[in-house]
Amino acid sequence: MPELPDVAGFRRVAEQATGRQVREVRVHDAQVLRGIGADAFQRALRRRYFAEPRRHGKWLLIATAAAVNASPAPPTLLLHFGMTGSLQWCAHGDELHQHDRLVFDFAAGELRYRDMRKLTGIHLAREQDEVDDLLAELGPDAQEIGTDEFAERLTRTRRRLKPALMDQAVLAGIGNICADEILWRARIDPNRSTTDLGAADLDRLHREMRAMLREAVRVGRVPDGASWLTGHRDEPDRRCPRCSSALRRMRIGGRSTLWCPTCQPA
């Protein structure tokens, strides 16, 4: 599932369209559109210019600019990538992938929204109020939140730590793989209650989260190298890359969770 680092990578893909005018919008599967039909979507974006994209949690937002004297006011594109979504920058004439649901055509190339399962999709907001409504239930972005606010939001209710980290209303952007990686780096058991965390635990957790996200955003995904927990998720004999203990896996909050019982004691 795309998480904050992946969407940061998609943002860099979308930057290739910054300042460029949409020549044509081709909707190959209208099921990825939310709250708008294909014809209206195409009319709203044709001949618009894409502004620099920005990210909040797992959402990517692309404001648009109008041609001179064009009306109505230019809308904002909001993309969510669900379980299998991505953005691809392709040359004209590149073969269309079977899961390319939407194509924005520019003079320099094509920006394609690719998604196999179509669990979420694309919104078009006409006004800033609509953008605010769509993002209203999200907490602060995990890459931007400060230490004090992080501690306050994480500990305001009694619950297990991993589900709290993944709750987008608490913190926007952290998914299953990021949460496991952060907790492993911070040496904290994912089953611990948020109310059992001391100031030192919270400070370390925030510090490791920021460091992990910084590295992962740089490459546009959670790295799966030998020194990362993620790199050992699918091994038949899963071993901790730090202490070589056998890793454990169980479901916490309905999600498959990997951790090291030696490095992350209860």
| CB neighbour burial string for 43-75, b if at least 16 within 10 angstroms, e if fewer | ebbeebbbbebebbbbbbbbbbeeeeeeeeebb
Mean per-residue pLDDT of the chain: 96
Check residue 71 and give its pLDDT: 59
pLDDT (tens digit per residue) in 53-100: 999 999 999 999 987 665 567 899 999 999 999 999 999 999 999 999
pLDDT (tens digit per residue) in 198-241: 999 999 999 999 999 999 999 999 999 999 999 999 999 999 99
SS3 257: strand
CA 99/CA 116 separation, integer angstroms: 5
Handedness of CA 136, 173, 53, 118 (dihedral sign): negative
Q: Which amino acid is at 133?
A: D
Domain covering 4-135 in this structure, CATH number: 3.20.190.10
38 phi and psi angles, rounded to 5 deg:
-65, -45
Per the annotation, the verdict on 255 as an active-site residue is: yes
Please report how many Cα atoms fall inside a 13 Å half-sphere around the Cα of residue 191, on the Cβ side.
Answer: 14
pLDDT band per the 50, 70, 90 thresholds, residue 2: very high
Which residue among the candidates 48, 55, 58, 162 is catalytic per the annotation?
58
Which residue among the candidates 159, 221, 238, 255 is catalytic per the annotation?
255
Domain boundaries, the chain: 4-135, 147-259
Taking CA atoms, 83 is separated from 143, 184, 192, in Å, by 21, 23, 27
Report whether pLDDT(174) > 70: yes
Strand segments, DSSP code E, in 75-191 are 76-80, 86-90, 100-106, 109-114, 122-125
Strand segments, DSSP code E, in 155-212 are none
Which residue among the candidates 3, 110, 181, 208 is catalytic per the annotation?
3
Contacts of 175 (CB under 8 A, 6+ apart): 1, 2, 3, 4, 58, 166
CA 60/CA 44 separation, integer angstroms: 18
Residue with tokens 């209208």: 30
Q: How far is CA 90 from the centre of its chain?
A: 21
Question: Domain 147-259 - what CATH class?
Answer: mainly alpha
pLDDT (tens digit per residue) in 4-23: 999 999 999 999 999 999 99
Per the annotation, the verdict on 2 as an active-site residue is: yes
pTM, entire model = 0.95
CA-closest candidate to residue 260, choices 250, 247, 242: 247
